[in-house]
Amino acid sequence: MAQDKRLKKEQQKAIQDNQEVLAAELTYIGQTAFQANEDRQRVGQFFFISFGSFIAAILSLQIEENTISQQNIFFILGFVFLFVAIFGVITLLQLARLRQAWLESVAAMNTLKTFIIDANNKSIEGAFDWLKPPGTYKKWSVGYFQAIEVSLVAGVAFGTSVAFFFLTFNESPDHFYVTLGAIIASVSISFLFHYFFYKGQLTSPSGPQAIDVEPPEK
């Protein structure tokens, strides 16, 4: 008991002697958490703006007759939309990393909260509502819907790529419904791939993407 009291006094003294350092640390952690959220918004917006720019460029494209064959145009467009689908994977990876960066800031904040609460015999514990960080992968959050949007657009881009490749190698397909089915399947598979890729980055129990968001045990 005496040892616990001595430890509490040491913690209280440490807080008093280092108030400026702790305040600066709290400010820095708050800034990193805010920046991670801001960057997530920018990453998502950049993807959608880039996709919209591709569409606008294609719609405004004017090619003179006999300069390039229609099949070559379809082939090029197929690769363009394939690039958009790959870009979607990179965007989701960035979103996952920024989510983890935000959670790391939350974990650091909780470490300071736990230290301050323990130093004050838990008398100020009621002042903190957020003592437990949210899950790494959280459904129905803004980040979740952002990942869904990116996955959907990337899936449509991949399906469009498949459609252009079909037109490249088969000028007049005899089996329209088979072709249509293949395109729909491509969109669905690509959407699921992108979605579960994002989810896997946040839920994998091992690897560089796994982080500890719980405050350290005392």
216 belongs to a structural domain: no
215 belongs to a structural domain: no
**37 φ, ψ (degrees, to nearest 5):** -65, -40
Number of domains in the chain: 1
pLDDT score recorded for residue 134: 74
DSSP 8-state code for residue 60:
T
Show pLDDT as tens, one digit a residue, over the chain (218 residues).
556 666 666 666 666 656 777 778 888 888 888 888 888 889 988 998 988 888 887 777 766 555 677 778 888 888 989 999 999 999 999 999 999 888 888 888 888 888 777 777 666 766 666 667 777 888 888 889 999 999 999 999 999 999 888 888 776 556 677 778 888 999 999 999 999 999 998 887 653 344 444 444 44
pLDDT score recorded for residue 5: 62
209 belongs to a structural domain: no
Selection from 213, 205, 88, 81 nearest residue 147 by Cα: 88
Task: Work out the number of other CB atoms within 10 angstroms of the CB of residue 169.
Answer: 11
pLDDT score recorded for residue 203: 86
pLDDT score recorded for residue 152: 94
pLDDT in tens, 108-155: 888 888 877 777 766 676 666 666 777 788 888 888 999 999 999 999
79 belongs to a structural domain: yes
With beta carbons less than 8 A apart as the criterion, state whether 113 and 2 touch: no
Angle CA 61–66–69, to nearest 5: 70
pLDDT score recorded for residue 215: 43
Alpha helices in the chain (DSSP H): 2-17, 19-59, 70-119, 142-169, 176-203
With beta carbons less than 8 A apart as the criterion, state whether 78 and 168 touch: yes
Task: Work out the number of other CB atoms within 10 angstroms of the CB of residue 114.
Answer: 17
130 belongs to a structural domain: yes
Give me the domain span that covers residue 133: 2-59+68-203
218 belongs to a structural domain: no
pLDDT score recorded for residue 1: 56
pLDDT score recorded for residue 108: 85
What is the residue-wise DSSP string for 93-140? HHHHHHHHHHHHHHHHHHHHHHHHHHHTTTTTGGG-S--SPPPSS-TT
